[in-house]
Amino acid sequence: MPRDRCRVLVVGAGRMGALRAEDLSNDPRVGQVLVANRSRQRAQALADRLGADVLDWDRIADADVDAVAVTPATSVHGEVLAAVLPAGRPVLCEKPIAMTLSDTQRVIDLAAGHGSAVQVGFQRRFDAGLRAVHERITTGELGTLYSLRLLSHDHEPNDTAFIGSSGGIFRDLHVHDLDLVAWLTGSPVASVYATVAVREHRQYDVRNRTAAGDVPDGDVAVIHAVTGSGVQVSIHGSRHDPRGHDVRLEAFGSKDSVTAGLTERTPLLSLDGAAAPAQHPYAGFVDRFREAFRAEAAAFVDLIGGGANPCPPQAALESLRAAVACELSVLRGAPVNVTEVATQED
């Protein structure tokens, strides 16, 4: 096989592994995709469907590949990253890198020590509408940025098994929003005031143990955030939306006001008669961001070829730090400065 076409190993054969393997297989710059999974049968099934190859799980550290996509459950990320980062190859790692700040920092240090570029899977950065908002902010088309409003609604509630290992609504769901805020504004989240509640789905009435204490989870949450540059941000989240999966953003500036995510598929009924309800609403996050995932995979292949890293691991660390600050805010019932959250305090 010509080495001008790269070889990529996808570790994990679940939903995200299948998604990454499919998009990488369809990229003409990728000559071979290999799949590794603890269950070889599951890896073989995915490989057969895509025309890929299977690699034994115990060979991921020394695989003859140019890059690795890390897609298994978060609890397995540490093991896989410890195996593949010493080879110095580019790595695409699904978010979160790890569930805690200290473990995330250890991965960052390991990657830096071996010269491995790690691209974090924050796919919203690659959504066409959100990228257009980013461009208008950075070019000054919006003028002075007054405020942002973000909304993240899952379609269906999670099952109990997922809830217990998710890290809670702030680390799992709103970490995406917190990353978007920093990326869009070019300024870190400086302070947060967060609330959370269980309004309907009692399975969320659990507490996720952290070093800061027992942080309550919930099916709804609201965050008021302020960036270091002074932009005020409102973030609304829900684990259930009866009409579909809804992720939207509004940006308000001195020259213009724009939105992203409001399409003919947005699961929202206007009672002003402005539009008919969506006939094919987004069914889940993969459906909502399918094109963004493709663009993200293409950006990873760019990185393999020596391109810039569009989402470095420090972004994952800082968005997780802001999420931990939200948890502290819930515990205290007060605003929290994100700089108070030291890496060892999670």
Q: What is the structure's pLDDT at 160?
A: 84
Kindly write down the DSSP assignment for every residue of 226-267, as one continuous string: EETT--EEEEEEES--TT--EEEEEEEESS-EEEES-STT--
8 falls in which pLDDT band (50, 70, 90)? Answer: very high
Kindly write down the DSSP assignment for every residue of 86-137, as one continuous string: GGT--EEEESPS-SSHHHHHHHHHHHHHHT--EEEE-GGGG-HHHHHHHHHH
Return all residues near 38 (Cβ < 8 A) that are at least 6 apart: 57
4 falls in which pLDDT band (50, 70, 90)? Answer: confident
Q: Does the pLDDT at position 265 exceed 90?
A: yes
Report d(CA 160, CA 177) in Å as an integer: 23
The mean per-residue pLDDT over the stretch 262-278 comes to 85
Q: Does the pLDDT at position 218 exceed 90?
A: yes
Q: Does the pLDDT at position 225 exceed 90?
A: yes
Report d(CA 219, CA 90) in Å as an integer: 36
Q: What is the structure's pLDDT at 162?
A: 82
Q: What is the structure's pLDDT at 194?
A: 98
The mean per-residue pLDDT over the stretch 288-308 comes to 98
Q: What is the structure's pLDDT at 185?
A: 98
The answer for 286, left when phi > 0, alpha when psi is -120 to 50, beta otherwise, is alpha
| Tens digit of each residue's pLDDT (9 = 90 or more) over 49-87 | 999 999 999 999 999 999 999 999 999 999 999 999 999
Mean pLDDT value across the chain = 94
1 falls in which pLDDT band (50, 70, 90)? Answer: very low
Q: Does the pLDDT at position 344 exceed 90?
A: no
Return all residues near 16 (Cβ < 8 A) that are at least 6 apart: 71, 94, 121
Name the CA dihedral angle for 292, 194, 181, 204, rounded to a multiple of 10 degrees: -10
The mean per-residue pLDDT over the stretch 277-294 comes to 94
The mean per-residue pLDDT over the stretch 24-29 comes to 98
Return all residues near 68 (Cβ < 8 A) that are at least 6 apart: 8, 9, 10, 11, 60, 84, 89, 90, 91, 92
Q: Name the phi and psi angles at 12, rounded to 5.
A: 115, 135
- With contact defined as beta carbons under 8 Å apart, do 288 and 282 qualify? yes
Q: Does the pLDDT at position 213 exceed 70?
A: no
Q: What is the structure's pLDDT at 208?
A: 56
What domains can be seen in the chain, in order of their start residue?
Answer: 6-116 (3.40.50.720), 132-284+318-345 (3.30.360.10)
Q: Does the pLDDT at position 144 exceed 60?
A: yes
Q: Does the pLDDT at position 215 exceed 80?
A: no
165 falls in which pLDDT band (50, 70, 90)? Answer: confident
Q: What is the structure's pLDDT at 212?
A: 43
Q: What is the structure's pLDDT at 163?
A: 82
Q: Which range has the worst mean pLDDT, 28-32, 118-122, 275-279?
A: 275-279
Q: Which amino acid is at 57?
A: W
207 falls in which pLDDT band (50, 70, 90)? Answer: low
Q: Which range has the worst mean pLDDT, 67-81, 194-208, 222-236, 279-293?
A: 194-208
Q: Name the phi and psi angles at 38, rounded to 5.
A: -55, -40
279 falls in which pLDDT band (50, 70, 90)? Answer: confident
Q: How far is CA 10 from CA 95, 124, 282, in A?
A: 15, 21, 27
Whole-prediction pTM: 0.94
- Please give the distance of CA 155 from its chain centroid, rounded to a whole number: 17
The mean per-residue pLDDT over the stretch 162-182 comes to 92
Q: Which range has the worst mean pLDDT, 35-49, 153-167, 256-270?
A: 153-167
Q: Which residue has the tokens 């539009």?
A: 275
| Tens digit of each residue's pLDDT (9 = 90 or more) over 114-123 | 999 999 999 9
Q: Does the pLDDT at position 296 exceed 70?
A: yes
